[in-house]
Structure 1
Amino acid sequence: METRGSVLVVDDKENILKLFARLLGDTYEVTCAEDGARALALVAAREFDVVVSDVRMPGADGFEVLRAVKSRYPNTEVVMMTGYATVPDAVEAMRAGAFDYLQKPFLPDAPVELVARAMERRRLRLQAEVLGRESPPGTGFSFTGVVGRSAAMQESHRLIEQAARLDITVLLTGETGTGKELAARAVHLNSARRERPFVAVNCGALPAELVESELFGHGKGAFTGAAQAKAGLFEEANGGTLFLDEVGDLPLNAQVKLLRVLQEREVRRVGETRPVQVDVRVVAATHRDLRAEAAQGRFREDLFYRLNVFPVQLPPLRERKEDIPLLAAHLLDKHGKAMGRTLEGMTPEALRVLVGYPWPGNVRELENTIMRAVAVAAGPAVTERDLPSEVRERQEGALPGGAAKHLPYRDALDLARDRFSREYLTALLRDFEGNVTRAAEHAGIERESLHRLLKRYSIRSDDFKPR
């Protein structure tokens, strides 16, 4: 029997604790703490999968709870709540290691979704650690969370794997929702820097007046409210990887300083003149055409060339429709588990609708669609009626040769099974010496699905393990 995830909810308002217990109690083991002091005692005694804590509480506040949790259990995900959602609080919480931020008042489904995503993030972190232990440097490559076996994705995988082994700057390009952060994490987790920090920041989400302070740090008294010196994200990522998402949104003055950091490998905090040496690999990402932006004077041309050392283009989902059944099966399993629902799969009609939709929001939009379908499905399988009307009504194409015409709904992976022949599976297990976990990761399918395929072809993984 699968163990339920554990959630600690910390708030000095009794009604909030009761609300969380009601919303999450059927899915997770929920423990409530009426103040920060009680939460610290609970955290000292045991590990939780996810902690949801208010920021402003008498006695020990949410930041003390956050620090205590992350220092003791780095893989526990922490969600911060507040009715005072100021930018400094949000930025400080995220920099201190919070997974996300929840502003009161909220709709009932907001914490459910957020905790589910936090649980999945923790699962992926732990899975990455296991894969790291199973795969010493040079023996394998982990694409945790990156699903797809199309020709376009295999080319992206090849470039990402090559980039990971070269300690150089990487520029990930592609439309919004194509999985650039997952690709950046794959670069980091498979590099020589894997034991050091991976720090991610969305440049477009930083307020213009805080960009330089957040990236490069500031000295005491550098501006109003700077009561003490503070390290920036480059210093936090020292020895590891800094992921600059939506780097094309940086203001021009911040671009100048970023260029200097990349050239000199040192930062100067705002309000200070003494440089601080940093050893950071930068992985940048953007949905913009930076070359065109540079031609229009909106992005520095010299910074573009400094970032574009190793470019990797991630394909949009409409250009790799053959991956949609694999992705749908993966996401159905993921969100079914998160919501405590057991679904048999998708009907042929539902899968045909998914394949025919152009997905302007790419994998992110597909995930939101599957999440909604899992939540509203009334029967044992997701049907066409469970999909949003805009997805059902906008159909612009299907897989070549009518591949989605007759699909058994118990397993959306059936569409891809022709590609998983006995010869392919045999070669796959030979390459990974019978390690089913690593073989499934490389193939872009769930471990259980690979086991079913091996059983179907009467292939024993033990036959490929070293003697």
Structure 2
Amino acid sequence: MPVKRVMIGLLGTKLDMGLDPGRWDGWRPSVSLFQHEDLLFDRCELLSDGKFAKLHEQVAEDVRLVSPETEVRRHVVDFGRDPWDLASVYAGLHDWARAYPFDPEREEYWVHITTGTHIMQISLFLLVEAGYLPGKLIQTSPRLSERKSSPVGRYAVIDLDLSKYDALSTRFARDAVETTDFLKSGIATRNASFNRLIDRIEQVALRSHAPILLCGPTGAGKSHLARRIFDLRKQRGGLRGGFVEMNCATLRGDTAASALFGHVRGSFTGAQKDRPGLLREADGGLLFLDEIGELGEDEQAMLLRALEDKTFLPVGSDKPVSSDFQLIAGTNRDLRESVASGRFREDLLARIHLWTFELPALRQRREDIAPNLDFELDRHARANGKQVSFNKEARQAFLKFAEAPDTAWSGNFRDLNAAITRMATLAPRGRIRVEEVEEEIERLRESWRRPGSTTDVVGEIPLDGLLEEDIDPFDRVQLAHVVSVCRRSRTMSEAGRELFSVSRQKRTVTNDADRLKKYLAKFGLDFERCRK
């Protein structure tokens, strides 16, 4: 069965005017659309306000005259009192579209956007773009400036499937690269899983106002990424307010609720004037609460209400205040464990868990150390007004150490930033030599040693008490490293990503946790036993 063509259009109360015989001498968009020999329609759905019934009937009859094979159906749409009011016009067209029995498998739809007020045309465009009107846009126009010179005119089809336009697709691809590059601060990261993570964060940041939860170890870059997300949103016009940041680990006692939600004068000793609080300061903007797992129980309950209702009570007040902000939360804890132990509210976790992203530790992204090294040098130069660089041998020596599998980087990017700052400060005449690198390596190793230990954090650990029987020295060295990674990782997936960071890039399907589980099982171990 052939697919039927259906035209959906608005009655043009100005351009379609004319009840006398002279109306055929001029260009009328709704009628001329059906005078094109290469553009045949089986049905026309003609929409108008009820007060133009006479003109509506005349135009419908004229369409039947020029295109007898076209069935014309008249529809009355309630546009409200003002045809220039977007809310009422869009609502009227939206209601009509929701009630219309579309059948895309048997019919092909075209939406005429030449007639009606500009608000009506915009509303039709939005409805097509959102999929409520599942069709293509078509626009008509007279051939010459004098409309009476050609009653037929011309038409142009606007297909909103932008993937069909090569030039636009190229532009979109370039824009996407620039956006993710912005979130990465221009660092040419090489880790495939991290790049995919940033791609997803970019999509969510520009399309959703829901809370975002950034997980990962201390120093993984949660605060820096939250700031970049804000800058991106601000740049794209999505936010009118500012960026407000607080580390929840610094909030203690009675001052915690006051800092977040504000207080009124006299609500407690020392409250000599009103305080707006961070949530009100973030109105229209972005609030970043780092280490959200450290919030007290009362503050968690108040934050949940603020997220759900956009209102909260300042300390000592019985009048709720409102604030419309987007929340980005950061944590180095496994909040599911905190819920299980009663330290974190399950309903709050459910509210902020919609978009959760796990930022990997630096040791899980060793291939990204080199580009981050250059970024830190550039940042140091901007901050101090002095360019510093490595000589060739020094750079090779530092990267050999930094990228080695047994280098801890327990402080993650904070350790890397501190190391670059120290070497750049001590470098004679702006050149970091092997001497500065060797001194810094020793300093880092010393900072990673545990009190009372003679080995590095990642050095071999005793396996006594873990194994039921002795194993070969070869297996003992390997297993000791695996156990040490498990002990400093929060989850088995995190440990697996670090242990198999090289080989996982070559596999299409990765299940690092299962791979680690099977390895430990060979020795009668599991992840929890290793951590204890």
- For normalisation by structure 1, the TM-score amounts to 0.53
- The structural deviation recorded for 1:263 is 1.4
1:302 aligns with 2:347: yes
- The structural deviation recorded for 1:181 is 1.1
- The structural deviation recorded for 1:352 is 0.9
1:362 aligns with 2:412: yes
The within-5 A match list for 1:395-406 is none
- The structural deviation recorded for 1:388 is 4.0
Name which of 381, 385, 408 aligns with 2:432.
381
Superposed CA offset, 1:215-259 (max 9, x none): 111011111111222211111010111101110000111111111
1:391 aligns with 2:439: no
Aligned to 1:352, the other structure's residue is in SS state: helix
Letter in 2 for 1:352: K
1:176 aligns with 2:218: yes
Name which of 228, 232, 235 aligns with 1:190.
232
Of residues 283-292 and 371-380 in structure 1, the stretch that sits farther from structure 2 once superposed is 371-380
Which structure exhibits the higher relative contact order, with contacts defined as CA atoms closer than 8 Å and separated by 6 or more residues? 1
Structure 1 distance, partners of 2:275, 2:373, is 44
Note closer, same or farther for the CA distance 1:173–1:382 as it changes in structure 2 (3 Å cut). Answer: farther
Q: Is contact 1:198–1:240 with CA below 8 Å preserved after alignment?
A: yes
Structure 2 distance, partners of 1:179, 1:363, is 7
Q: Is contact 1:339–1:375 with CA below 8 Å preserved after alignment?
A: no
Q: Is contact 2:219–2:414 with CA below 8 Å preserved after alignment?
A: yes
Structure 1 distance, partners of 2:381, 2:438, is 18
Query: Which residue does 1:158 correspond to in 2?
Result: 199
Q: Is contact 1:160–1:183 with CA below 8 Å preserved after alignment?
A: no
Note closer, same or farther for the CA distance 1:372–1:189 as it changes in structure 2 (3 Å cut). Answer: same
- The structural deviation recorded for 1:195 is 3.9
Of residues 140-149 and 294-303 in structure 1, the stretch that sits farther from structure 2 once superposed is 140-149
- The structural deviation recorded for 1:301 is 0.9
Structure 1 distance, partners of 2:199, 2:243, is 21
Query: Which residue does 1:216 correspond to in 2?
Result: 261
Letter in 2 for 1:290: L
Structure 2 distance, partners of 1:139, 1:151, is 14
The within-5 A match list for 1:373-452 is 373-378=423-428, 380-383=431-434, 384-391=437-444
In structure 2, runs of 5+ residues without a counterpart are 1-173, 447-455, 460-532
Aligned to 1:172, the other structure's residue is in SS state: strand
Query: Which residue does 1:352 correspond to in 2?
Result: 400
Name which of 346, 362, 365 aligns with 1:320.
365
Structure 2 distance, partners of 1:276, 1:139, is 40
Q: Is contact 1:146–1:182 with CA below 8 Å preserved after alignment?
A: no
Q: Is contact 1:350–1:382 with CA below 8 Å preserved after alignment?
A: no
The within-5 A match list for 1:125-144 is 140-141=178-179, 142-143=182-183
Note closer, same or farther for the CA distance 1:241–1:233 as it changes in structure 2 (3 Å cut). Answer: same
Letter in 1 for 2:444: V
Structure 2 distance, partners of 1:255, 1:241, is 18
Superposed CA offset, 1:185-218 (max 9, x none): 2222222434421111111112322110011110
Aligned to 1:282, the other structure's residue is in SS state: strand
- The structural deviation recorded for 1:358 is 2.2
The alignment yields a C-alpha RMSD, in angstroms, of 2.5
Aligned to 1:283, the other structure's residue is in SS state: strand
- The structural deviation recorded for 1:180 is 0.3
Aligned to 1:190, the other structure's residue is in SS state: helix
Of residues 152-161 and 334-343 in structure 1, the stretch that sits farther from structure 2 once superposed is 334-343
Structure 2 distance, partners of 1:348, 1:396, is 22
In structure 1, runs of 5+ residues without a counterpart are 1-135, 398-467
Note closer, same or farther for the CA distance 1:140–1:347 as it changes in structure 2 (3 Å cut). Answer: closer
Note closer, same or farther for the CA distance 1:146–1:185 as it changes in structure 2 (3 Å cut). Answer: farther
- The structural deviation recorded for 1:261 is 1.0
Structure 1 distance, partners of 2:322, 2:414, is 37
Superposed CA offset, 1:312-348 (max 9, x none): 1111111110000111111123224434543332431
Letter in 2 for 1:381: I
Aligned to 1:323, the other structure's residue is in SS state: helix
Aligned to 1:359, the other structure's residue is in SS state: coil
Note closer, same or farther for the CA distance 1:382–1:161 as it changes in structure 2 (3 Å cut). Answer: farther
- The structural deviation recorded for 1:377 is 2.4
Q: Is contact 2:366–2:402 with CA below 8 Å preserved after alignment?
A: no
Of residues 191-200 and 315-324 in structure 1, the stretch that sits farther from structure 2 once superposed is 191-200
- For normalisation by structure 2, the TM-score amounts to 0.46
Aligned residues: 263
Structure 2 distance, partners of 1:151, 1:309, is 23
Aligned to 2:288, the other structure's residue is in SS state: strand
Structure 1 distance, partners of 2:371, 2:397, is 16
Structure 2 distance, partners of 1:155, 1:229, is 45
Q: Is contact 2:239–2:284 with CA below 8 Å preserved after alignment?
A: no
Letter in 1 for 2:183: F
Name which of 226, 235, 251 aligns with 2:296.
251
Structure 1 distance, partners of 2:413, 2:177, is 29
Letter in 2 for 1:372: R
The within-5 A match list for 1:62-141 is 140-141=178-179
Note closer, same or farther for the CA distance 1:322–1:223 as it changes in structure 2 (3 Å cut). Answer: same
Structure 1 distance, partners of 2:347, 2:176, is 34
Query: Which residue does 2:125 correspond to in 1?
Result: none
Aligned to 2:403, the other structure's residue is in SS state: helix
Superposed CA offset, 1:405-440 (max 9, x none): xxxxxxxxxxxxxxxxxxxxxxxxxxxxxxxxxxxx
Structure 1 distance, partners of 2:177, 2:214, is 25
Letter in 1 for 2:395: T
Structure 1 distance, partners of 2:292, 2:192, is 28
Note closer, same or farther for the CA distance 1:255–1:137 as it changes in structure 2 (3 Å cut). Answer: farther
Instruction: Give identity over the alignment, percent.
Output: 35
Q: Is contact 1:353–1:395 with CA below 8 Å preserved after alignment?
A: no
Aligned to 1:201, the other structure's residue is in SS state: strand
